[in-house]
């Protein structure tokens, strides 16, 4: 039997897919080259925005046609499965099994039941210890960086967000387990890890998140630590100090703000004002200058006025983020924001998003150009030259690098090399081996 896992969404979903692959491999399944080669296709889904959900249903339509041609099991896992539950079968009867976010370790049982002919197999139950998944079971992708989940769920209650529903309340892995996993990953050859959580900096697995970073940094052979995603209300002075002083913590911070308007933030129930957000950025002090800072924006949230949007643009100018991820508000089932009046025309939302993104491109280009002439370490992320003749690499600041290595030269995948930045665009840097 061969399996194929298709993944949408965040890094947490990427790592969940590694866990799913490992569980199937333990049962004797082999990875398929594509849909046409698979006996089981699993869609590991995201539901944080409507666009992601639509992509899943489009893929389910294609799989329905595939099932008409030959025997094929189709399963849906992840956040959409946890959110829609039995409703998935009604909308897409070609689905054979549905598994929620907390039931990952039940996958072999669900597949076996579906193979035995049982219809509409489902488990979206709560398994409070799912965050204690045995890390050695995960079948790691061949990447330069390893993903490590340290916390599952979220205790915040943002009015637009489905995460508390789809991922449940926070569950924290013991810090000794996290350190042991990182140590094992280094022995496997990884030199960089990314610590994951829906609200990663609220970690309380026997120590603070800042203390966890310091303890992970003590692992011999580890070079860089990254983490995502942080909530401003859990961004402490202690964490800021660790971020700017520990040389193994990569100089990159993603701190979502969502809006520059206090009125919008109240409707979002984000629990902070813009002054409080800026205060937390101030914890970085002079260390801010050596960090790449990114954020998230939601444009067109219900009730957002032109003045509210201008406040967001003003914040963008004040902070001058090195990068940002911005989206039009997407209504999600079961969220409190659905009760808010959303009367802003779609075209106006699109226009505002375009204005914000255009200005961010300018700021990102300026940030990248400031690196021209510098020599910095970058991790090699491709196993050879890609189209265009360059290699792919990434700096500690999370900037993409198109690296000229020279005719016939081979670079060590996953290793750090010193590169000299020669040019910059808004989406990547150009560099040569220093």
User: Is 336 within 8 Å of 349 (Cβ atoms)?
Assistant: no
Is 161 annotated in a binding site? The answer is yes
Is 46 annotated in a binding site? The answer is yes
Two structure tokens written together for 412: 């060590």
Contacts 24+ apart (CB under 8 A), 380-389: 380/144, 380/411, 380/412, 380/413, 380/414, 380/415, 380/416, 380/417, 381/143, 381/144, 381/413, 381/414, 382/413, 383/413, 384/410
Two structure tokens written together for 310: 């201008």
Find how far residue 362's CA is from the centre of its chain.
Answer: 24
Q: What span, in angstroms and rounded, lies between the C-alpha atoms of 160 and 157?
A: 9
Q: Which of 290, 208, 205 is nearest to 253 (CA)?
A: 290
Q: Is 310 exposed, middle or buried (0-12, 13-18, 19+ CB in 10 A)?
A: middle
Q: What span, in angstroms and rounded, lies between the C-alpha atoms of 132 and 171?
A: 9
Is 154 annotated in a binding site? The answer is yes
Two structure tokens written together for 259: 């809006």
> CA-based Rg of the chain, rounded to a whole angstrom?
22
Is 292 annotated in a binding site? The answer is no
Two structure tokens written together for 332: 């999600």
User: Is 404 within 8 Å of 390 (Cβ atoms)?
Assistant: yes
CA dihedral 9, 243, 363, 265 (to 10 degrees): 60
Longest dimension (CA), the chain: 63
User: Is 323 within 8 Å of 292 (Cβ atoms)?
Assistant: yes
Q: Which of 148, 239, 212, 213 is nearest to 186 (CA)?
A: 148
Show Cβ contacts of residue 71 under 8 Å, excluding neighbours closer than 6 positions.
39
* Measured CA distances, 269 to 127, 139, 151, 176, 265 (Å): 28, 38, 22, 34, 6
Q: What span, in angstroms and rounded, lies between the C-alpha atoms of 412 and 383?
A: 8
Q: Is 109 exposed, middle or buried (0-12, 13-18, 19+ CB in 10 A)?
A: middle
Look at the block and give the residue holding tokens 């006025």: 305
Binding residues for [4Fe-4S] cluster, by number, are: 10, 46, 79, 154, 158, 161
Binding residues, by number, are: 10, 46, 79, 154, 158, 161
């Amino acid at each position: 039997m061969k399996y194929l896992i298709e993944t949408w969404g965040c890094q947490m979903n990427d790592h969940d897919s590694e866990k799913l692959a490992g569980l199937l491999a333990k049962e004797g399944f082999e990875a398929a080259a594509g849909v046409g080669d698979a006996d089981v296709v699993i869609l590991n889904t995201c539901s944080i925005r409507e666009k992601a959900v639509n992509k899943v249903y489009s893929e389910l339509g294609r799989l329905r046609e595939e099932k008409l041609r030959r025997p094929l099991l189709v399963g849906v896992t992840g956040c959409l499965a946890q959110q829609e539950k039995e409703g998935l079968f009604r909308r897409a009867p070609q689905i054979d099994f549905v598994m929620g976010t907390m039931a990952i370790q039940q996958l072999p049982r669900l597949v076996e039941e579906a193979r035995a002919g049982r219809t509409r197999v489902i488990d979206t139950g709560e398994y409070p210890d799912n965050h204690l998944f045995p890390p050695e079971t995960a079948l790691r992708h061949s990447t330069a960086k390893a993903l490590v989940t340290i916390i599952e769920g979220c205790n915040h209650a943002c009015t637009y967000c489905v995460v508390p529903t789809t991922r449940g309340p926070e569950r924290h892995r013991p810090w000794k387990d996290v350190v042991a996993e990182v140590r094992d990953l280094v022995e496997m050859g990884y030199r960089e890890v990314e610590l994951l959580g829906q609200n990663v900096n609220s970690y309380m697995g026997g120590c603070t998140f800042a203390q966890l970073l310091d303890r992970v940094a003590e692992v011999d052979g580890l070079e860089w630590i990254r983490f995502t995603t942080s909530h401003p209300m859990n961004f402490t002075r202690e964490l800021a100090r660790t971020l700017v002083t520990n040389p193994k913590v990569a100089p990159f911070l993603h701190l979502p703000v969502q809006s520059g308007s206090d009125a919008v933030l109240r409707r979002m129930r984000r629990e902070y004002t813009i002054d409080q957000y800026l205060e937390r950025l101030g914890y970085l002090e002079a260390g801010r200058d050596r960090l790449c800072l990114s954020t998230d924006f939601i444009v067109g949230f219900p009730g957002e006025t032109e003045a509210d949007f201008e406040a967001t643009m003003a914040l963008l100018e004040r902070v001058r983020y090195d990068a940002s991820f911005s989206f039009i508000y997407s209504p999600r089932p079961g969220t409190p924001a659905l009760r808010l009046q959303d009367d802003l025309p779609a075209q106006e939302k699109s226009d505002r998003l375009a204005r914000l993104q255009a200005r961010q491109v300018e700021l990102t280009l300026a940030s990248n150009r400031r690196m021209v002439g510098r020599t910095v370490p970058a991790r090699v992320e491709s196993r050879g030259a890609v189209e265009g003749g360059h290699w792919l690499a990434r700096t500690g600041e999370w900037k993409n690098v198109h690296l000229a290595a020279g005719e016939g030269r081979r670079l060590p995948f996953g290793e750090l090399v010193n590169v000299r930045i020669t040019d910059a665009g808004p989406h990547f840097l150009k560099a040569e081996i220093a």
